[in-house]
Amino acid sequence: VELAGTIVELAHEMLRGEFRNIDTRQTRVVLIEAGDRILPNFAPELSDYASKALERLGVTVELGRPVTRCDAEGVVFGETHLPARTILWAAGVAASPAAEWLGAAADRAGRVLVEPDLTVPG
């Protein structure tokens, strides 16, 4: 989410002034989210606010369709093929499965609980 907003600002503000040979009118930033809203770990009101803020910046937000293919021709999500020459993939946030295979205590997000010196208890 943060990356999409930053890239659209860079493309439409910085590149236009610094790289005049790049046609920024051809730049499109599309945020594809498999779920029904972006930032699902936040309150729905905040997700909605972020989505609208991105759209005001010029980001296209696509919800409810997971990416099923990504190749040199573009991205496929749902029944849609989005032609693209540059793809930045920033999928999901998940903890390492280390807590499980270590048998260590974890928080509700699955992150290993550690001591102040970053060692695993026990």
Closest CA to 35 of 6, 61, 10, 64: 64
Closest CA to 70 of 49, 92, 86, 56: 86
Q: What are the residue ranges spanned by the domains of the chain?
A: 2-91, 92-122
Residue-wise pLDDT for 92-117, tens only, equals 667 788 888 999 999 888 889 999 99
**Is 45 a residue of the active site?**
no
What global pTM score does this model have?
Answer: 0.72
84, 75 in Cβ contact below 8 A? yes
**Position with higher pLDDT, 78 vs 17:** 78
pLDDT for the residue 91: 76
CATH hierarchy code of domain 2-91: 3.50.50.60
Q: Quote the CA–CA distance of 108 and 120 in Å, as a whole number.
A: 17
Annotated catalytic residue within 2, 45, 79, 115: 2
Residue-wise pLDDT for 35-91, tens only, equals 999 998 899 999 999 999 999 999 999 999 999 999 999 999 999 999 998 898 887
Closest CA to 83 of 93, 91, 71, 94: 71
